[in-house]
Amino acid sequence: MNGSTGSKWIRRPGGCAVALAAAGLLIAGCAQQPAAPPSPAAPPAPAQAAAAPAKPAATAPTPSQTIDPGILETLDRMGSYLRTLQSFELKTNSDSDVILDNDQMAQFSRWATMKVRRPNGLRADIRDDSGDRKILYFNGKTATLFDPDNKFYATVDAPPTLAEMAKVLSERYGIELPVADLFDWDSNRIDAKAIKSADFLGYAEVDGSMTTHFALRQEGVDWQIWVERGASPLPRKLVITSTTEAARPQHSVLLRWNLAPKFGAGDFEFKPPPGAHRIVIRTTEGKVEAPGN
Amino acid sequence: MKNTSGSSGMRSTVAACAFGLMLALGLGYGGDAHAQREVRGGARTSVNHNVAANRNVNVNENRNVNVNANRNVNVNANVNRNVVVAGRPGYNNDYHPVATAAAVTATAAVTAAAIGSMTRTLPPSCAMTVVNGITYQNCGGTWYQPQYAGSQVTYVVVNPPG
C-alpha cells in the first residue's frame, strides 16, 4: 500500500512538523495503535518511509494533489464501525458561518442530541443559540418535525432507511440532520472518485481523545475530519469549508458519543401533545404539501 | 450587544458589536432601523449533500439579522435550505420572492401584505383557526398560513379560506 508520494513535511499549528510517510503504513498505524500522545520531537514515520524525511519545512511543501489511500481505508473502517452500532446517542455542538451581505462572516451555534436505533429509528432534539427548539422523529415510515414551543408539526412520508431519509429531508425539504453525512458514511464506502486530495495532518486531541486528523478536498468543499484512534474509529470532529463561496464559510461540529444509550419506549414515535397543530410543509421547489395529500 | 430591555431572558440581537457590524437591533434596543446586515449565504453543512449550487447561495438559515426591513436578498425564496435552526427572536425574518421584495417595506408588510408573501413573525392579535383541517392565523383580516419551510415555520399570506 505504499504510495508513491514520498515524504512530505507539513507543519502543524504549534510548530510540530509531521512527516507524511509513504502512504499506508503510517495511516494503518494510526488506526491500530492504542492512543498514545505523539512525541512532537520524533517524527512518527515508520522505518518503511522511503524518502529521507530530512527536507526542511522551509522548502514550502507542495499542496497535496494525491489521495493517501490510508485515509480512505481509515474512513471506510470508520463507516464499517458505525454500521456495527445498533443504538447510539450522539450529542453534537455545531458552529456555522453565515455570510452577511458585506461578505463578513457571522457564526451561529446549535446543539443536538440524536438518538439512533437501527434500522429505522431516529430522534433528534435540536436547540439553537436563539433558543429555538425542534424535534425530528423518524420511524421508518414517516418523518415529523415538531416545534415544542409553538406546537406546530409537519409529518411527511419517508423512505425506510436512515440514509435515504436523510437524503429526502435534505433534498426535498431542505432539512439537514445534525451530522447529515453520518448515514452516508455508514452505508457507503467512501467514494474515492469524488475526492481530489486527502492529507493526513497528524494526531490531534479532540475532547480528550486522540484522533487522526485528515484534510480532504472535493468539488465545492474542503473538509476535515478527526477520527478517534484505537478500537472505536468514531468521527469526533468535522469541519466543512464551502469553497464555492469566496468568503469560504465554515461549518464545524463536535461529536460526543454514547454507545450504550437508554431509550424511552416512546422516544421515536411522535404523539401530538394537547394544543399541537399539524401544518403544511413546503418543499424546496416551493410546493406546499398538506396533510392528507 | 445584548438586548437591554424588552423580552426578558431572550437574546433579541445578534451579539456582534465586537464584530463591528452595524446591525439593526431588536425592538427594545434602539428600534430604528439603520444600517442593516442581511444574510446572503452560508456554509454547507454536509459533505455529501449539496443539492443544487444555487441553494448554497440561498442558505438562509433564517438568522436574518434584519429587524424591521425585509429586504432579504434571497434569490430563491422558496429554496429555504435550513440547518435545523431558527431565526433569533426579535428578528423579523421576512423574506420574499425577488419579484416582490422591492415592493414591500417593513411596516407596509403587515398592513398590506401581498398574497404569497412570507413572514417569520406575525402581527399582534391573531386568532388561530382550523379550516378544513388546515391551520391558519387570522390577524385582523389578513390570513396567514403557517408552513414549515426547511425547519422553520413561516407564515404565508393567503386568501381567506373556506
Is the model's pLDDT at B162 over the cut of 80? no
Calculate helix-pair angle for A69-84, A24-32, nearest 10 degrees: 30
Q: What percent helix, strand, coil does chain A show, rounded to 5?
A: 15, 40, 45
Domain locations in chain A? 103-185+262-289
Is the model's pLDDT at B20 over the cut of 90? no
In this predicted structure, what is the pLDDT of residue A96?
A: 93
Q: Does ipTM top 0.85? A: no
CB contact (8 A) between residue A101 and residue B38: yes
Q: How many CA atoms lie within 13 A of A117 on its CB side?
A: 15
- List the one residue out of B52, B23, B50 whose CA is nearest residue B39: B23
In this predicted structure, what is the pLDDT of residue A256?
A: 98
- Torsion angle of the four alpha carbons B16, B20, B21, B26, in this order, in degrees rounded to the nearest 10: 40
CB contact (8 A) between residue A240 and residue B44: yes
With contacts defined as CB-CB under 8 Å, which chain A residues touch B88? 129-130, 132
With contacts defined as CB-CB under 8 Å, which chain A residues touch B128? 277
CA distance A221 to chain B (A): 7
Q: Is the dihedral of CA A183, A285, B60, B55 positive or negative?
A: positive
The grid coordinates listed for A279 are: 401544518
What whole-number distance in Å separates Cα of residue A168 and Cα of residue A159? 8
With contacts defined as CB-CB under 8 Å, which chain B residues touch A242? 42-44, 56
Q: If you measure CA to CA, which chain A residue comes closest to B91?
A: A130
Average pLDDT over chain B, rounded to whole? 58
CB contact (8 A) between residue A170 and residue B149: no
Find the CB nearest A174 among B37, B48, B80.
Answer: B80
Mutate to test the interface with A, among B84, B120, B131 (most CBs of A within 10 A): B84
Q: If you measure CA to CA, which chain A residue comes closest to B88?
A: A130
pLDDT tens digits along B32-57: 433 456 778 888 888 887 643 222 22
CA distance B39 to chain A (A): 4
This prediction has a pTM of 0.69
pLDDT tens digits along B105-129: 444 444 557 899 999 889 989 999 9
In this predicted structure, what is the pLDDT of residue A26?
A: 37
Q: Is the dihedral of CA A176, A179, A183, A185 positive or negative?
A: positive
Find the CB nearest B42 among A170, A220, A249.
Answer: A249
- Torsion angle of the four alpha carbons A45, A48, A54, A59, in this order, in degrees rounded to the nearest 10: -80
CB contact (8 A) between residue B45 and residue A176: yes
* Positions of chain A with pLDDT under 70: 1-65, 292-293
CB contact (8 A) between residue A96 and residue B40: no
In this predicted structure, what is the pLDDT of residue B86?
A: 37
CA distance B10 to chain A (A): 7
CA distance A61 to chain B (A): 26
Average pLDDT of the residues in B93-98: 35
Share of chain B above pLDDT 90, in %: 20
The grid coordinates listed for A218 are: 472535493
Average pLDDT of the residues in B47-75: 41
In this predicted structure, what is the pLDDT of residue A266?
A: 87
CA distance B148 to chain A (A): 4
